[in-house]
Chain A
Amino acid sequence: MSDNVEALYQEIILDHYKHPRGAGLLDNAAGESFQVNPTCGDEVTVGVRLDENDHLHVGYEGQGCSISQASASVMTELLEDATLDRVADAERAFHELMHSKGAGEPNEDALGDGIAFAGVSKYPARIKCALLPWVALQDARLKAGIEIDQSTTPDA
């Protein structure tokens, strides 16, 4: 396997793919979003709600390739019970990483295991896979009326 593909399929990614964390939908989501990647049929549904302390709770369900499913698992683990500031930082950092064409310096504070996706940004066809759960998260959040600081909202 080439270095690029080894970098794409980091141990962390394969581990989340085989042992997904936090899989399953919330029964009391305030907003839910179903997203598909029409080129390959990857699917993910993400649901969110805020608790009384304004912490986010995330649930998901999906099927698809290792990158899309590991991304959903990493995102859910990262953002479960997170403050909205943390959500905003993570959303922005993940989008930036995906658009970095492999040259980005991933922000570990914001992304946790999400830094493992740095190698994905070299493969344009896989960026969509990695972003799929994040797009669903953003949409579910908006449907639930959960606003994050717009100045930090990623534009893509």
Chain B
Amino acid sequence: MVSTVLDVSRLRKDFPILERTVRGDRPLVYLDSAATSQKPFAVLDAERAYYETSNAAVHRGAHQLAEEATDAYESARAAIAGFVGAHAEDIVFTKNATESLNLAAYAFSNATAKAAQGGVVDPRLVLTPESSVVVTEMEHHANLIPWQELCAKTGAQLRWIGLTEDGRLDMDQLSVIDETTAVVSIVHQSNILGTINPVRSIMDRARDVGALGVVDACQSIPHMRVNVDDLGADLVTWSGHKMLGPTGIGLLWGRSEVLDRLPPFLTGGSMIESVTMEGSTFAPPPQRFEAGVPMVAQAVGLEAAVRYLESVGIESIEQHEHELTAYALTTLSHMPGVRIIGPESSVDRGSAISFVVDGLHPHDVGQVLDDRGVAVRVGHHCAWPTCRRYGVPATTRLSTYLYNDTDDIDAAAAGIRAAQEFFGVA
């Protein structure tokens, strides 16, 4: 079946890795874009061109290369801001979403520690044993463990919104967000269940009780049009490598009024205003959060990725993946012995689909798929509590992007059947 919105076979030519074979002579069927996406020539070329012509340390030095490098870096910031409807000065470059989320969590613990020493900090960032922090039961470990650690350091209570049988947030549990809540941090689109959460109403509730709101948009921004301001959050985090960009670059968007009040996370060069032996003052955002020589080539690559996504059309990508997800859900749900973990309908759902096969461990399913050239992810997908919630030790997950089509889903389905036959559970 041919996509109704994208010319997938033409797009695939932009991704050199999709030409290769694996495990001998098997063409690669890449269904692991939720872990990381593949990169088009445009991104590889942009990084290479930057190193060939303009490489220098940004925001330092008076020479022409330093100027060009700084321009390239700031131009990338502006392009990425434009992609998510933000102002460039509200975008912070980090290493990845994990670092962005740690930056957010450490803002609270650093402010709390400073307040205990009599320092002047924003009171919204100060936690006590009476405070609470709210997440959901479908968080990636990157949006769970930093908050667990924050609670361990401050005595605050960690609470979570539980899940329904069909893989959605149990909105009846929204009352865990109350007057004690200092921060609510939730995933926009689950990397394990695929669920797209109603973040706006949860962020509104956070605001109503005076809590700050954080959204982990790692799996949404690469696949759909997201205007960060519309999410109703104070901070939004995501990674470049899941949206066709290079590894080693992540993003944090902050509402300027909030970003301005956050203490720094990593400290050192490039993030200061003035330094004496006794102490220092810090630069305004975003520089305050970008200590050290930053990842310029990756920023340049990410700008190329954003331009590529815009040239294809992020709305078209969203529609294409929506159709593909519906096709995959129908295919899998008609397979005997296959059970989807997560929403079975494509409504409010992204393209990451987890499933289990009766009588087969995900590792063995993944092995047989790999033998046929089909790359999927197996395991707990850094969402171990979510697996526990559904009583499975692990799942097999397929996830798509603009370069996948129904043939790829068919290849996965054929592989699952082959695994069932091989292990005698068909």
Contacts and interface: CB of A to CB of B under 8 A. Distances in A.
A5 interface: yes
A63 B423 CA distance: 17
Nearest to B392: A41
A42 B361 CA distance: 9
Contacts of A63: 393
Contacts of B378: 40
Contacts of B364: 65-67
A129 B363 CA distance: 10
B192 interface: no
A38 B12 CA distance: 34
Which range contains the number of B residues in contact with the other chain? Answer: 20 to 34
Contact of A65 (B23, B24, B363, B424): B363
Contacts of A1: 368, 371, 418, 422
B24 to A, nearest CB: 6
Interface in A46-97: 63-67
A128 to B, nearest CB: 10
A2 B363 contact: no
Interface in A1-54: 1-2, 4-5, 8-9, 14, 18, 39-43
Nearest to A8: B367
A126 interface: yes
Contacts of A14: 423
Contacts of B418: 1
B40 interface: no
Interface in B350-381: 361-364, 367-368, 371, 378-380
Interface in B83-125: none
Contact of A126 (B363, B368, B384, B394): B363
Contacts, number: 53
Contact of B393 (A9, A18, A43): A43
Interface in B1-50: 23-24
B371 A40 contact: no
Interface band, chain A = 20 to 34
Contacts of B424: 18
Interface string B387-409: 10000011000000000000000
Contact of A64 (B361, B367, B387, B423): B361
Nearest to A17: B423
A39 B393 contact: no
Central interface residue in B367, B378, B424, by most chain A CB within 10 Å: B367
A41 B394 contact: yes
Nearest to B362: A40
B423 A41 contact: no
A125 B367 CA distance: 10
Given A40-B380, A43-B393, A5 B362 contact: no
Given A39-B379, A40-B380, A66-B423, A2 B367 contact: no
A10 B393 CA distance: 24
Nearest to A9: B422
Contacts of B393: 40-43, 63-64
Given A41-B384, A63-B393, A126 B379 contact: no
A4 B363 CA distance: 16
Contacts of B362: 40, 65
Closest 7 CB pairs of A and B: A65-B363, A65-B361, A41-B393, A5-B371, A40-B379, A41-B394, A66-B364
28 contacts: A1-B422, A2-B23, A5-B368, A9-B422, A14-B423, A39-B379, A40-B363, A40-B379, A41-B380, A41-B384, A41-B393, A41-B394, A42-B361, A42-B363, A42-B393, A63-B393, A64-B361, A64-B363, A64-B393, A65-B361, A65-B362, A65-B364, A66-B361, A66-B364, A67-B364, A123-B367, A125-B363, A129-B363
Given A40-B378, A66-B364, 6 more contacts: A1-B422, A9-B422, A40-B363, A40-B379, A64-B393, A65-B364
